[in-house]
Structure 1
Amino acid sequence: MGGSRFSSELVRSSTDLVILALLRDRPMYGYEILVSLSDRGNGEFEFKQGTLYPLLYRLEREDWIRAKWETPASGKKRKVYSVTPEGTKVHEARVAQWHRFTQAVNSLLKDCNHE
């Protein structure tokens, strides 16, 4: 294994959680999400547009996020994504689940002297 990036399996299993977390912070358009993922994830979450947009469309179909077109002062129309009330519930449940999971893994690793 090795390298500084997370395995694709770890990233894939946490994408819904991190996208919902970002959008709970504030509504964002696609490119802004990509930059935020990279910046706030210390460069560990590198998504390509071809990966992000299908994920956003799926979250929209699940009714966890909502998209609307906006035209900012710059004049270029763009889609802005925000979390729905259902997405907020899902996010809160997943955060609680994530904390229980990471505590269990950390406990196991500590008990196995692999810390």
Structure 2
Amino acid sequence: MEKKLYTDAAFDYLGRSVGFKENITLGSNPNGTVLVLAPKAHAEAGAGGTAIAKPLSIAILNSKEDRVIFRPMVSAVAGPGGMAIAEPELIIRKRWEEEASESPETEGTKQKARIQ
């Protein structure tokens, strides 16, 4: 049985409501986690300057049922002859894939390195 989660609003880092509506299917696992990431960055530069707004968000997911909502608010403004770069980035690490790729030999090597 699929469980639908309706998110009516999220909050930015100051606690203000960021209005949007998402319909997320969690699948058969009602214990799936929904992570809402809403990074906010703004950069300004004068004439001939460079404005770079590049927030980095990292999400580490523990199960296949986990979901990420990524809603960046990024802007960059540069004066005449300048350059503006607004580029949000999201990195998602899936722990279940990392655990599957680790062999017993690799794990033993890691333990030896930690001890020394």
Whether the TM-score (by the shorter chain) exceeds 0.5 is no
TM-score by length of 1: 0.21
Q: Tell me: higher relative CO, structure 1 or 2? Use CA pairs within 8 A at least 6 residues apart.
A: 1
> What is the TM-score of this pair, normalised by structure 2?
0.21
Of Structure 1 and Structure 2, the greater helix share is in: 1
Where is the strand percentage greater, Structure 1 or Structure 2? 2
Give 1 or 2 for the bigger CA radius of gyration.
2
